[in-house]
Amino acid sequence: MTANVYRMILVSLFFSGVFVSVNAAAQVSGLRVNADDNVIKISASINSEYQFKQVYLCGLDTIGWRVAGETCSWLIENGTLYRYSGRSDEWSWTSQGAAVYTLSDSNLHAEFPVSMVAGFDSYSIVVQGHEGGPALDHERIRVLVQPPTIRLSGLVPLYAAPTGQRNDPLLVISRQAETVIISGNNSGSGGVCAVGSLYPQTVRAMRQNGATVAVYLHVEWGQRNMLDVLNDLEGYSCLSDIQNDTPVFIDQAPLTVESIGGLKAIKQRAIELGFGGTLIANPGTVFSERGEELVAVFSESLMEVYDVTVTFEGSFESYRDSFIPHPAWTAGYEYSRFAHLVHTASLPEAFEAADLAKRRGAGMFGATDLESLPVNTWGELPSYWRMLPDVLQSR
């Protein structure tokens, strides 16, 4: 058994410390990984004469480039971050921009965002150097993941008309969650901005309570007439005098490239109305059930339009038993780009779901004990509304 056979040594270690492996070859050596709640820091000694100095993040998907026995979906090469995309013989490394990377006197340092490993039990780091031909030398290390500290932000839909009373559910929930979604379809007075509507004064009070108020639009997965959608958005225009950072919550959000033009029109009109242009998309589907279908389309295109995406809305039972962590294409985005909404959850189940959300890469979260209803699952406050801040802080 020669040194060439054992150029790489696999080591299993815990996430919270510093990790060292030993390489029988001297061209790449001293691989160390140190991670905190924000970044994965990699350092190694690598022969400076190599044309390519590569750092791979592996083990997050079954699809990727095979290096040192690992399947790798992210790469930092000479200071640029790349993401693997494609299938079989149709594949590519797509540039994602500059990465944190330095090389000084053969000492290499690179960083990946820790959000890339959200929802996974372990990952591998491979450092490799080569001259443009077959790989000459590499070293790898496997790290067992412990979830980083994530502070969930509350995202609560509440599609109820304002009452004008002190115990108005909209006022109550605005003290418990960072973002509350309202729907003008329930105003019963001709619209949010109609004469005599209670919405403007209610939204002003909700803002004073510390909540950001998002407005609801439904687009029927891109099938609804866009002029009607934009007219609905116009119906919230009076709220721009109250808050200039009004997110637009798009229910039944489309997941096709053909819909991007309409979505950009919504974003642009929201900006023109003084809302800021933030789009929160709820496709109404469990992404893990359609992962293969969504990888090529959603990750490449719609993330450029959607600022936050609800990648799960369903019952607690489904969330606990069936939901699979986000596929690797989500790994390049911050936790704040993803939200999970869980219904039919008792208070203990809400605590459990919040803990799962942190492990599964969500930055925003909402829960209710109401069951899924054909008309309005989110039409009332959950019975445990006072406990929502504690649920969000669950660990």
> Is residue 118 domain-resident?
yes
pLDDT on residue 275? 94
Q: Does some domain include residue 110?
A: yes
Residues 84 and 135 in one domain: yes
Q: Which of 113, 144, 175 is the last residue of a domain?
A: 144
Residue 137 lies in a domain: yes
**Considering the domain boundaries, does residue 4 fall inside one?**
no
Report the CATH number that the domain containing residue 90 is assigned in CATH.
2.60.40
State the CB neighbour count (10 A cutoff) for residue 31: 27
What's the pLDDT at 156? 96
Quick one: how far is CA 114 from the chain centroid? 12
Query: Domain check: are 261 and 131 in the same one?
Result: no
Residue 186 included in any domain: yes
Distance CA 128, CA 52 (A): 8
* pLDDT at residue 86 in the model: 66
Work out the percent of the chain whose per-residue pLDDT is above 90: 45
Confidence class for position 299, pLDDT limits 50, 70, 90: low
C-alpha count within 13 angstroms, C-beta hemisphere, residue 232: 22
- Phi-psi group of 298: left, alpha or beta (phi > 0 → left; psi -120 to 50 → alpha; rest → beta): alpha
Same domain, 234 and 372: yes
pLDDT of residue 210: 95
Give 265-288 pLDDT, tens digit per residue. 999 999 999 999 999 999 876 555
Claim to verify: residue 163 and residue 133 sit in the same structural domain: no
Residue 306 CA, chain-centre distance (Å), reads: 11
Q: What distance in Å separates the CA atoms of residue 139 and residue 229, rounded to the nearest whole number?
A: 54
Evaluate whether residue 349 is within a structural domain.
Answer: yes
Q: Which domain holds residue 238?
A: 153-392
How many degrees, rounded to 5, is the angle at CA 314 between CA 310 and CA 315?
Answer: 145
CA neighbor of 40 nearest in space, from 116, 102, 150: 116
The tokens for 134 are 């077959």
At 152-183, the pLDDT tens digits run 999 999 999 999 999 999 999 999 999 999 99
Beta-bridge mates of residue 46: 28
- Boundary residue ending a domain (144, 168, 203): 144
CB 65 within 8 A of CB 59: no
**Residue 261: pLDDT above 80?**
yes
Same domain, 260 and 125: no
Say yes or no: 356 and 258 in one domain.
yes
Q: What digits encode the pLDDT tens for the residues 186-241?
A: 544 457 998 889 999 999 999 999 999 999 999 998 899 999 999 999 999 999 98
Q: Are residues 166 and 313 in the same domain?
A: yes
| Model pTM above 0.85 | no
CATH assignment of the domain containing 230: 3.20.20.60
Q: Is 24 exposed, middle or buried (0-12, 13-18, 19+ CB in 10 A)?
A: middle
Do 110 and 185 share a domain, yes or no?
Answer: no
Whether residue 237 sits in one domain with residue 283: yes
Is 2 a domain residue? no
Domain end position, chosen among 144, 172, 206: 144
Q: Which two tokens stand for residue 198?
A: 């209670």
Confidence of residue 43 (pLDDT cuts 50, 70, 90): very high
For residue 1, tell me if it sits in a domain. no
Q: How many domains does the chain have?
A: 2
Please tell me the distance from the alpha carbon of residue 151 to that of residue 33, in angstroms, as a whole number: 24
For residues 66 and 83, state if they share a domain.
Answer: yes
The answer on 123 and 243 residing in a single domain is no
**Both 178 and 161 in a single domain?**
yes
